[in-house]
Amino acid sequence: MITLLIADDHPLYRDALKGALSLNLPDLRVLEAGDLNHTVSLLQNEDIDLLLLDLHMPGSNDLFGLLHIRKLFPGLPVAVVSGTEDAAIISKIVGVGALGFIPKTASSADIAEAVQVILDGDIWVPESVTDHLEEVDESFSELADKVSSLTPSQYKVLCYMRDGLLNKQIGYNLDIAEATVKAHVTAIFKKLGINNRTQAVLIASQLELEPPEQRP
């Protein structure tokens, strides 16, 4: 039996995805998670054959969830499920290690096909973007590898820096002391090999896939 984990913060979509899979893949055990922390916990305690990951669930923040999971579980097949079908975005997702990209508009037959192809060890993306995928350049790959070493808390701080918040404001939003924020900032600079907030903002901006108002 195949064990699959659906990580998405929308229960109705998880139910719809389970229904679509059960129509075509009856020998399937499905687990669910609604945020990054729960996803990681299940991956640590269950034998998962494939993760279907929503990039915008709590804790994931664009590419970070994928990078973090790939760092912790490098042998785990991961497919991203998203509302976008932009070739440039899909190229980044595949370029940093996802074995597939499944649009939320995909039919149940396409979803089942994608799961089977990925379980067989191949990459699956929609036919509409197959000829438009681009190779991720080496500098982006190196950047992604550095960002994957951040903790979820450190990445939240990085995103708040991108949004222009000061340490005091970040501490208020995260309900932590300003001294803790400063410690996170120091660790972020060290892990990313940078020495100022401007460089941090540029890095975080490169990992942002979609403006918030466009996110599904």
> What value, to the nearest 5°, has the Cα angle with vertex 122 and ends 99 and 88?
45
Distance CA 85, CA 125 (A): 10
* Domain boundaries for CATH 3.40.50.2300 within the chain: 2-130
pLDDT at position 182, please? 96
Give residue-wise pLDDT tens across range 114-144.
999 999 989 999 888 888 888 877 888 888 8
* Domain boundaries for CATH 1.10.10.10 within the chain: 150-214
pLDDT at position 213, please? 36
Strand segments, DSSP code E, in the chain are 2-7, 28-33, 50-54, 78-82, 100-103
Distance CA 109, CA 60 (A): 27
By three-state DSSP, how is residue 80 classified?
strand
Cβ atoms 82, 63 nearer than 8 A: no
Q: How confident is the model at residue 211 (pLDDT cuts 50, 70, 90)?
A: very low
Give residue-wise pLDDT tens across range 146-201.
999 999 899 999 989 998 999 999 999 999 999 999 999 999 999 999 999 999 99
Give residue-wise pLDDT tens across range 23-55.
778 788 999 999 999 999 999 999 999 999 998
In b/e form, how buried is each residue of 26-63, taking b as 16+ CB within 10 angstroms? Answer: eebebbbbbbbebbbebbeeeebbbbbbbbbbebbbbb
Please say whether the structural domain 2-130 has been given the CATH code 3.40.50.12140.
Answer: no
Cβ atoms 96, 68 nearer than 8 A: no
Please say whether the structural domain 150-214 has been given the CATH code 1.10.10.10.
Answer: yes
DSSP label of 214: G
Q: How confident is the model at residue 215 (pLDDT cuts 50, 70, 90)?
A: very low
